[in-house]
Chains A and B, each alone.
Chain A
Amino acid sequence: MATIPADIVDTLEAGVSIIIGTRDAANIPEVARAAGAAVSRDRTELTIYLHETWGAKALANLRENGDIAVGFQRPYDNFAIQMKGKCTRFVEASEGDRSVVDRYHATFGEQMYMVGFPRSITKRFVFWPAVAVTFTVRDIFVQTPGPGAGRRLEAGGVVPTGPVVTVR
């Protein structure tokens, strides 16, 4: 089990790009994209939001075996990490979760805007309705492109600082 370092929690929840890897019973992988993430209070669990329709295959895989890889990437500098674990809870997202997904949608739009994506495009992404999928974090890896990619993340001093995207 791993604990998510406190200094990256804000980054994970601030609209960075979130990609998902799952696999079926025959070990055939399936790529997907998440519509938001929330770190648990004790930082050992991560909840991600998957769209019911366009994330359907990934959801089916996760319900079947729970094995998940989640990649986070900050668009403007490619700072990236990957977490792996086993999903334990699947909950249809509530209205309370909706604020997390809506905030993600808005901040993701701003992150993408910083690298030249028109807001008129990111506004069209459909992130709701979603299923909240929670997993216990087993491993965290650095994934920023370069020679250090793939090593385990150690707490402290790994996140290059940059502008923090916030949306009121």
Chain B
Amino acid sequence: MKLAALPMRCFQGVIPAVIATCDTDGIPNVTYLSQVHYVDGDRIALSCQFFNKTKKNVQANRYASVELYDPQSIDMYRMRVRYDHAETEGALFDVMSRRIDAIASHTGMTGIFKLLSADVYEVLEIEKVEGFLEPLPPDMVLDDPPAYRSELHGLQLVSQRASKATDLDSLLSNVLEALEQAYGFEHSMVLLCDEVAPRLYSVASRGYGEGGVGAEVAIGDGLIGTVARERCLLRVAGVGADLRYGRAIRASVHRAGQGRALTPEIPLPGLVEAQSQLALPLVAGDRLVGVLAVESKKPAAFEEWHEAYLEIIAAQVALAIESIVRRGREAEATEPTLTLEPAPASRASAVPCARVRKFVFYPSDDCMFVDDEYLVRNVPGKILWRLLTAFRANGRTDFTNRELRLDASLGLPAVRDNLESRLVLLRKRLEQKCPDLALVSIGRGQFRLEIGCAFELEERASEAG
């Protein structure tokens, strides 16, 4: 049988592969492999993270035997392979290295756990191991992922939804909804780049409940942060297996007394029980706009064809985001400036509501709490504080994007700020955590703060104080 005849999902690492080698004295060695990479119809590459007995053996006696599993059918394949060479740079090395970097970063081991080389082996022979599995009972239905043969229709659907959107919020929520309808992606999120710090924040999500919006990831951290840093697509199947492997190394590093080099493990934004992840950069021209990430609880949910379609969608979404933001700004520039009169009858004291909500702002980390519960932080936190204090001072309820952009206290950069996405995030957090306040659009680049409760404002030096 030929290497190319193996299902590609065998190379996703869902079930760890095994390698047996042998030294020149005939002493065998057997161990698990963390990554088996399909190079071409005749070759595979194995990841080498530590200079170990396997590596020593194949440098002396080049033959090895590899066992690989199909994660769906659990069929077992044995390959006779011959070590050819090791690559320490180049495209193959980079592809294999990124996946390891993502796990290393996630488990707080950047620089400790890394790819030393991509070891290329010629495949001499492959056999499917017969007799390892009982035949499937005739009445058993295999949990096959549905074969989407209507991928183009899916693209068309996503494209239509994206082009109909008039603002950032509807663009992103329409696209995520269409991805679920067309491709069955139930858990997805879009994170955009923070323009003032090297991090991303999620501004739209689907299938994550309340926690989805506002999650933050530092550039370079975990799968999403790695995708942002490298600006390349990354797909990880068998997330559980990768993390267990990473944590085992982490524990070994601790036992070896090198624990000080470790940094805390980063909680993943997204599903706790995710088994497959696929993340891809949103790039418009030479600019990284953000990251689109999809997850699944199934171990091998995403395949190669998903990547191809998602790359097209990501390119379109990135351009659509840029276009909506640009159009919004052009419209703002031509709008007459609002006359900032106090709005009638909207003072908090006049609101007929028995409830009094307490907003506390911590300027040390730009964090806003409502009734002792975390609401929002960073730029959206500062914006909300500014709106509430303006209302308290002179009863203003109507604001323009333009005045926020020009307000130095918000710390937005002079060009290419992400104000629209901050307002989307703030609007969603208010819907979830404080529906008594709402930001309602009243025309291009203008919005109204609607207040349905009485409130108190307090600024505190630090959380402890």
Interface residues, chain A, CB within 8 Å of chain B?
A: 19-23, 27-33, 51, 53-54, 65, 67-71, 73, 75-80, 82, 84, 115-116, 120-121, 123-126, 143-150, 160
**Cβ-neighbour of B248 out of A19, A79, A82, A115 (below 8 A):** A79
- On whether the beta carbons of A29 and B133 are closer than 8 Å, the reply is no
Scoring B residues 123 to 156 as 1 if CB is less than 8 Å from chain A, else 0, what string do you get?
A: 0000001111110100010000000000000000
A21 with B28, Cβ < 8 A, contacts A28-B63, A51-B131, A149-B52 known: yes
* Size of B's binding interface in residues, CB under 8 A: 52
In the complex, which residue of chain B has the Cβ closest to the Cβ of A25? B26
The residues of A that contact B78 with a CB separation of less than 8 Å are 30-31
In the bound complex, CA of A75 to CA of B32 (Å): 11
In the bound complex, CA of A120 to CA of B275 (Å): 19
The residues of A that contact B74 with a CB separation of less than 8 Å are 121, 124
- The residues in B between 217 and 270 inclusive whose CB is less than 8 angstroms from any CB of A are 240-241, 244-245, 247-253, 255-256, 258
In the complex, which residue of chain A has the Cβ closest to the Cβ of B241? A115
- On whether the beta carbons of B61 and A31 are closer than 8 Å, the reply is no
In the complex, which residue of chain A has the Cβ closest to the Cβ of B248? A78
Asked if B29 lies at the interface with its beta carbon under 8 angstroms from chain A, I say yes
**Cβ-neighbour of B26 out of A23, A77, A121 (below 8 A):** A23
In the complex, which residue of chain A has the Cβ closest to the Cβ of B254? A146
- The residues in B between 17 and 34 inclusive whose CB is less than 8 angstroms from any CB of A are 18-22, 24, 26-32, 34
Asked if B320 lies at the interface with its beta carbon under 8 angstroms from chain A, I say no
Asked if B317 lies at the interface with its beta carbon under 8 angstroms from chain A, I say no
- On whether the beta carbons of A77 and B50 are closer than 8 Å, the reply is no
The residues of A that contact B383 with a CB separation of less than 8 Å are none
- On whether the beta carbons of B244 and A77 are closer than 8 Å, the reply is yes
- On whether the beta carbons of B247 and A21 are closer than 8 Å, the reply is no
Asked if B214 lies at the interface with its beta carbon under 8 angstroms from chain A, I say no
A126 with B134, Cβ < 8 A, contacts A69-B30, A116-B240, A148-B256 known: yes
Interface SS, B side: mixed
Expressed in whole angstroms, the minimum distance between the Cβ of B15 and any Cβ of chain A is 8
The residues of B that contact A32 with a CB separation of less than 8 Å are 20, 67
The residues of B that contact A143 with a CB separation of less than 8 Å are 31
In the bound complex, CA of A20 to CA of B31 (Å): 9
**Cβ-neighbour of B131 out of A30, A54, A65 (below 8 A):** A54
A54 with B132, Cβ < 8 A, contacts A29-B21, A148-B256 known: yes
The residues of A that contact B258 with a CB separation of less than 8 Å are 147
- On whether the beta carbons of B20 and A29 are closer than 8 Å, the reply is yes
Selected A-B contacts with CB under 8 Å, 25 pairs: A20-B30, A21-B28, A21-B65, A22-B20, A28-B63, A29-B20, A30-B20, A31-B30, A31-B65, A53-B130, A67-B22, A68-B28, A73-B32, A77-B248, A78-B244, A78-B245, A79-B248, A121-B74, A124-B136, A143-B31, A145-B245, A146-B251, A146-B252, A147-B258, A150-B50
- On whether the beta carbons of B132 and A126 are closer than 8 Å, the reply is yes
In the bound complex, CA of A139 to CA of B30 (Å): 13
In the bound complex, CA of A73 to CA of B30 (Å): 11
Asked if B66 lies at the interface with its beta carbon under 8 angstroms from chain A, I say yes
Expressed in whole angstroms, the minimum distance between the Cβ of B318 and any Cβ of chain A is 34
A54 with B129, Cβ < 8 A, contacts A144-B248, A147-B252 known: yes
- On whether the beta carbons of A115 and B30 are closer than 8 Å, the reply is no
In the bound complex, CA of A32 to CA of B131 (Å): 13
**Cβ-neighbour of A67 out of B26, B136, B244 (below 8 A):** B26
A126 with B28, Cβ < 8 A, contacts A78-B245, A145-B34 known: no
Asked if B13 lies at the interface with its beta carbon under 8 angstroms from chain A, I say no
In the bound complex, CA of A99 to CA of B63 (Å): 37
Asked if B392 lies at the interface with its beta carbon under 8 angstroms from chain A, I say no
In the bound complex, CA of A33 to CA of B66 (Å): 12
- On whether the beta carbons of A77 and B247 are closer than 8 Å, the reply is yes
In the bound complex, CA of A22 to CA of B21 (Å): 8
A126 with B29, Cβ < 8 A, contacts A27-B63, A146-B251 known: no
In the complex, which residue of chain A has the Cβ closest to the Cβ of B67? A31
Expressed in whole angstroms, the minimum distance between the Cβ of B444 and any Cβ of chain A is 49
The residues of B that contact A79 with a CB separation of less than 8 Å are 248
Which of A65, A84, A149 has the most B CB atoms < 10 Å from its CB? A149
**Cβ-neighbour of A148 out of B28, B240, B252 (below 8 A):** B252
- On whether the beta carbons of B32 and A144 are closer than 8 Å, the reply is no
Asked if B108 lies at the interface with its beta carbon under 8 angstroms from chain A, I say no
In the bound complex, CA of A145 to CA of B247 (Å): 9
- On whether the beta carbons of B22 and A76 are closer than 8 Å, the reply is no
In the bound complex, CA of A93 to CA of B126 (Å): 29
- On whether the beta carbons of A53 and B29 are closer than 8 Å, the reply is no
